[in-house]
Structure 1
Amino acid sequence: MGRPLVRSRSTRAAAAVTAGAAALLAFSAGAPGTAVASGATAADALPKPVPAAAGHLLASGLPAVLPTSTCLAVKKIRCYTPLQYRKAYNLAPLYKAGITGKGRTILIVDSFGSPTIQRDLNTFDKQFGLPDTRVSVVKWGKVPPFNPKSADQTGWAGETTLDVEYAHAIAPGAKIVLIETGVSETEGTQGFPEMMGAEKYAIDHNWGDVISQSFGATENTFPGFGTNGTQSLQKLRFAFAAAAQKGVTVLGASGDAGATDGTLDNKLYPYKVNSWPSSDPLVTSIGGTRLTLDDSGRRTAPDVVWNDGYGAGGGGVSGVFARPSFQNGVAGVTGDHRGTPDISMTGAVNGAAWVYQSFDPKNTGWGLVGGTSEATPIFSGIVALADQKAGHRLGLINPRLYALAEHGAAGHGIVDVTSGDNSYAGVQGYAAGKGYDLASGWGTIDASLFVSALAK
């Protein structure tokens, strides 16, 4: 990860329950009688959670941030700052009205975390004129000492950096709680129960309003896939059930390998698959788009589905979960299964986000990162803004999101993405089109309009 311009392929790539959430909790995704468990144990064979941005570090250790035009000329890719994203998503009217996420808290969950996250965020904020904030770091479980020689730990540290910096960039007034879990190399298979346990505790103790998850594993890699609704996966949903009951919004990155995803031996399935937790009906799945912006952040072309050779936005139908009620209106697209993503934000590597990181002393500086784990924390900031606008937690937003897209009045802020597809690594994916599709979901957003519509 230390060399500039490294090109690689993804390795894996309110307190009351809302009516929509209640309906989903009553709906048993998978085999009849499969309950949402109150805890998860004996998960020895579970797949290891992988950061959605794995393999999508394009450059690192650079001495300065470059304009988009220079990136195009020198590196042959587009690069964007948070200020460009703010303009592209029309956030200025919200900030002017005092909607910054103030009074709201974003929970970010990452294995290991980063030992330099506060220092790096301070540098990031200074570069772009963003207000400083203090990240509240909670270590959950036995988090090992940071080892910059461990690719696993540095990969998660990079993910942590991306998540924190871009959640803060979009919702600068929101508090950030970073939960670092102790998933070591020898205990990697315990990662999901540990993460879900941490989330459940945070939810029960009202630590935050929206959870950003930039990790996942292919449904097919969970023990018992295709049998009884994959009970090993079903037993991990207890945190999401708690979130629905407490009105906490949960987000999940849809993946970075298009319509396919990773196997247990770090290859890619040669056919369409989906990944969890993105595929869970209690989670809002965040896909990826490619933005074409000038140096100021002005669009010079419509957004398209992210698919740039470095990766592609995840999307497709679940092999575990049946179609939830909020997707009944798009049954012609999803069939009888849960479809993903629900909405999409910037994720392209050719259109990468600037991050600052110093956890590796031999590779300190500015880097460029893409992936749906960029899109997910960005959207967590959007939810925090909407929570502030509403004056309360919005909880599971999927029913509201689909209702706005299908029946909302003009000005709902959902912007259709109608070009591109998520075919990847020889697997034929799905094409974007008018309305909902399995490449971009409902498309992307004009944040000023969307936040106001979502908050109503």
Structure 2
Amino acid sequence: MRTAPLTSANSPSTRGRWRRATRTALAVTAAVLAALATTTTQATAKSAPSKVTWTHSCATPTKKGEMACNALRVTGGITAFQKAEAKAEDITPKAADATTPTGYGPSDLQDAYGLTDAAASGGSGETIAIVDAYDDPNAASDLAEYRSQYGLPACTTSNGCFKKVSQTGSTTSLPSADSGWAGEISLDLDMASAICPNCNILLVEAKSASMANLGTAVNKAVALGAKFVSNSYGGSESSSDTSYDSSYFNHPGVAITASAGDSGYGAEYPAASKYVTAVGGTALSTSSSASRGWTEKVWSTNSTEGTGSGCSSYDTKPSWQTDTGCTKRTIADVSAVADPATGVSVYDTYGDDGQGWATYGGTSASAPIIAAVYALAGTPTSTKYPSSFPYAATSALNDVTSGSNGTCSTSYFCTARSGYDGPTGLGTPEGVDAFTG
């Protein structure tokens, strides 16, 4: 089932409500028909657990220097999106299946972050690069289905909007396929599309998950003209990080984002690089009492699952970061939704886990969201590091002041507060003004 694009006659907030109501009606219709088809399906829907469960999309790295992707795929339970949609229709939430979106879509995310008008008019001519490991053979077709479902402009190889290359720039000699990283790739492509529907998308696939190969892919993305590069992976810090900084991430005039991690309090690389915008994660929920209609807190499920944050052991502090508890680089800079329980819709069909529609979370969602916000804000000045931009416009961010992602000796490293803190940085987007420089 697909929803049609809305006419411009409606206000942004009305469009968002109309889209959500339309998707709810379609979802309810599909659920009712499926329930009538078999008693087994009906029983499954009635007994759906409310607690959200998930699994890591990619395999755990087995070699030193390998990076882990930060995508988390929901495997059960009722997400915040499903609860909100069911409440709007005064029905009981039903179990998810692969035929219907069960996470936040483009209109939800644009509304939550004050981007509805910018997304409608901005981003034309800009290219967002997605850097990941291994190949997703279904990347183009899955992206087409996601964009069609939500009424976004087509972004295909034939119309010049989408391009997939290896770390060498080849369009034909691609890495080996990997079903886990394919889920990560789908998440990244869909989030870039959700926030900046008019942007072009360049997918650069590294031949492995090593920092050397992923870093080479970052350089290739920049060489091919991308001014916005999203990296949804990370690993433990090491003494090699400062050399990686200079080799792969020192690109003035290019907004490079990196996930802060999904293992709770603790620093990881490349989020620790002083040249990137480190992106933390929040739990995002609708709220009738909040003026923006949404509320956020630090994403933390338990002591080992939640957004990353912390004080780097190796990277020096950039001049624009002024918190005093950490003499080196502090993670994160800004944040966006990452909690799988308040997750986003993704379409992925490659491999055993790719059955169609799924809900994803992790800071793999927040990194491409922020990269796309930078793209909506326009091409950065060639001599500036865009990671500095939010520090000059803190009033244009939603300050996240509640929640914690673990235990730490310096409280703001792991606990939200008014102003800057580690888990959510300076806050989440409220329009594009904090990302323009």
TM bracket, shorter-chain basis: 0.7 to 0.9
CA contact (8 A) 1:274 1:317 kept: yes
Partner of 1:89: 113
Distance 2:364 2:104 in 1: 15
Return the letter of the residue paired with 1:314.
G
Tell me, what secondary structure is at the counterpart of 1:47? coil
Partner of 1:139: 166
Partner of 1:36: none
Aligned match of 2:215 in 184, 196, 206? 196
Residues 1:250 and 2:256 aligned together: yes
CA contact (8 A) 1:240 1:250 kept: no
Distance 2:364 2:339 in 1: 10
Partner of 2:361: 370
Distance 2:436 2:262 in 1: 29
| CA distance 1:10–1:274, change in 2 (3 Å) | farther
Shift of 1:368: 0.8
Residues 1:337 and 2:357 aligned together: no
Distance 2:334 2:59 in 1: 20
Shift of 1:73: 2.9
TM-score normalised per structure 1: 0.71
Pick 1 or 2: higher relative contact order, CA cutoff 8 A, min separation 6: 1
Partner of 1:283: 276
Return the letter of the residue paired with 1:418.
T
Partner of 2:134: 112
Aligned residue pairs: how many? 361
CA contact (8 A) 1:211 1:250 kept: yes
CA contact (8 A) 1:287 1:375 kept: yes
CA contact (8 A) 1:292 1:301 kept: yes
Partner of 1:150: none
CA contact (8 A) 2:338 2:362 kept: yes
Distance 1:133 1:88 in 2: 24
| CA distance 1:282–1:358, change in 2 (3 Å) | same
Correspondence list, 1:197-212, <5 A: 197-203=216-222, 205-212=223-230
Residues 1:440 and 2:424 aligned together: yes
Correspondence list, 1:294-313, <5 A: 302-309=295-302, 311-313=305-307
Residues 1:80 and 2:93 aligned together: no
Q: What do the CA deviations read for 1:201-237 (whole angstroms, capped 9, x no partner)?
A: 332x342111100011011xx3xxxxxxx1x222222
CA contact (8 A) 1:314 1:422 kept: yes
Distance 1:10 1:115 in 2: 16
Partner of 1:123: 145
Distance 2:189 2:391 in 1: 28
Return the letter of the residue paired with 1:213.
N
Return the letter of the residue paired with 1:256.
D
Aligned match of 1:58 in 74, 80, 86? 74
Distance 2:57 2:180 in 1: 12
Distance 1:179 1:353 in 2: 23
Shift of 1:318: 0.5
Shift of 1:180: 0.8
| CA distance 1:95–1:439, change in 2 (3 Å) | closer
Return the letter of the residue paired with 1:85.
L
Identical pairs, percent: 28
Distance 2:249 2:360 in 1: 32
| CA distance 1:174–1:393, change in 2 (3 Å) | farther
| CA distance 1:347–1:251, change in 2 (3 Å) | same
Q: CA RMSD in A?
A: 3.3
TM-score normalised per structure 2: 0.74
Q: What do the CA deviations read for 1:218-272 (whole angstroms, capped 9, x no partner)?
A: 11xx3xxxxxxx1x2222223445412xx1111100001110xxxxxxxxxxxxx
CA contact (8 A) 1:416 1:434 kept: yes
| CA distance 1:198–1:84, change in 2 (3 Å) | same
Shift of 1:452: 3.3
Unaligned runs of 5+ in 1: 14-43, 147-152, 223-229, 260-272, 406-411
| CA distance 1:7–1:166, change in 2 (3 Å) | closer
Shift of 1:283: 0.7
Correspondence list, 1:151-190, <5 A: 153-183=178-208
CA contact (8 A) 1:291 1:351 kept: yes
Residues 1:7 and 2:54 aligned together: yes
CA contact (8 A) 2:258 2:278 kept: yes
Shift of 1:275: 0.3
Return the letter of the residue paired with 1:199.
V
Q: What do the CA deviations read for 1:49-102 (whole angstroms, capped 9, x no partner)?
A: 11012xx21139xxxx967434983459x8322221111112122245x22x11
Partner of 1:20: none
Return the letter of the residue paired with 1:59.
T
| CA distance 1:386–1:182, change in 2 (3 Å) | same
Partner of 1:149: none
